[in-house]
Amino acid sequence: MKTRAMFWSIRRELWETRSIAIAPVAVAAVVVFGFLVSTFAGSHAAQTTEMSRPYDFASILLMGVMFLVSIFYCLDALNGERRDRSILFWKSLPVSDLTTVLSKLAIPMVVLPVVSWVATVATQFIMLVMRGSGAPWGEVAGSWPMILYHLLTVHSLYYAPIFAWLLLVSAWARRMPFLWAFLPIAAVAIVERIAFRSSYFAHMLGARISGDMEMKGAPMLGYFMPLDFFLKPGLWIGFAIAAVFIAIAVRLRRLHGPI
């Protein structure tokens, strides 16, 4: 029963948030169009030394756009249903607040990384086909498992506290969730800078977003050390913070009615 409610709750998120499908298709179309023009312009010659660059560019652009989609998705997820009063319809059905909030967390943590990966593979595949003979198939296709790993670890598990924070703000704010999500963070960073002349908080956020890997000097997509990743204290501290934020978000959804 619970899994059924979860399954249908995720489906309804996909019905409502069309950008989950539209954004990757739009990015792919732009990248492929640019690549097509560059083929005709003959500017590939300049890239022979770094054959995979346009392919990497495509995957990084897709990741960036999908991260933006997740930010906007999370900020609207628990706020929009209160603004349009549809929360009263959702709450008239036997679906718990916990199931609802977890289904909304599953979008940025499960659905979007998988969609990003499929879009990346599809885009790079089209680019390789368009490139014709001499396309770096082995190099590009060889990176596909790594891209999936990166998306599911860094962009999902490591980002859990980010998504949980955004959902919490979405459940709490009556209006302008965007400002409420980012102003307190900026405020903490500024206060720290002025009071202690340090910037640990800002560095911590930066490390969180980069997946805490740049310091090791490894290129982001070449970094495959699952044991190292899962033993990172940062990952587990992140989970603990995310759990607290989600618990508060569930509580808020239970208490709050339409705005």
Partner 1 sequence: MACIEARGLRKTFGSTVALDGVDLRVEEGRILGLIGPNGAGKTTALNAILGLIPYDGELRVLGRDPWTAREQLMCDVAFIADVAVLPRWIRVTQALDYVAGVHPRFDRAKAEGFLAKTDIRPASKVRELSKGMVTQLHLALVMAIDAKLLILDEPTLGLDILYRKQFYDSLLNDYFDRSRTILVTTHQVDEIQDVLTDFAFLKRGRIVFESSMEQFESRYLELMVNQDRADAARALGPIHERQLFGRSVLLFDGADRQQLAPLGDVRTPSIADLFVAVVGGASK
Residues near partner 1 (CB under 8 A) are: 1, 4-5, 7-9, 11-12, 15-16, 81, 84-89, 91-96, 254-255, 257
- Provide, rounded to whole angstroms, the least separation between the CB of residue 16 and partner 1: 5
Round to whole Å and give the CA distance between 87 and 102. 16
Our CA dihedral for 237, 238, 244, 245, rounded to 10 degrees, sits at: 160
Q: Which is nearer to partner 1, 12 or 203 (CB)?
A: 12
Round to whole Å and give the CA distance between 61 and 59. 5
Contact call for residues 165 and 80 (beta carbons, < 8 A): no
Q: Which is nearer to partner 1, 206 or 258 (CB)?
A: 258
Q: Which is nearer to partner 1, 30 or 248 (CB)?
A: 248
- Provide, rounded to whole angstroms, the least separation between the CB of residue 195 and partner 1: 36
Q: Which is nearer to partner 1, 72 or 201 (CB)?
A: 72
- Provide, rounded to whole angstroms, the least separation between the CB of residue 100 and partner 1: 10
- Provide, rounded to whole angstroms, the least separation between the CB of residue 107 and partner 1: 15
- Buried b / exposed e over 173-196, threshold 16 CB at 10 Å, is beeebbebbeeeeeeebeeeeeee
Smallest CA-to-CA distance from 167 within 253, 83, 84 is with 253
Round to whole Å and give the CA distance between 68 and 12. 21
Q: Which is nearer to partner 1, 195 or 255 (CB)?
A: 255
- Provide, rounded to whole angstroms, the least separation between the CB of residue 91 and partner 1: 6
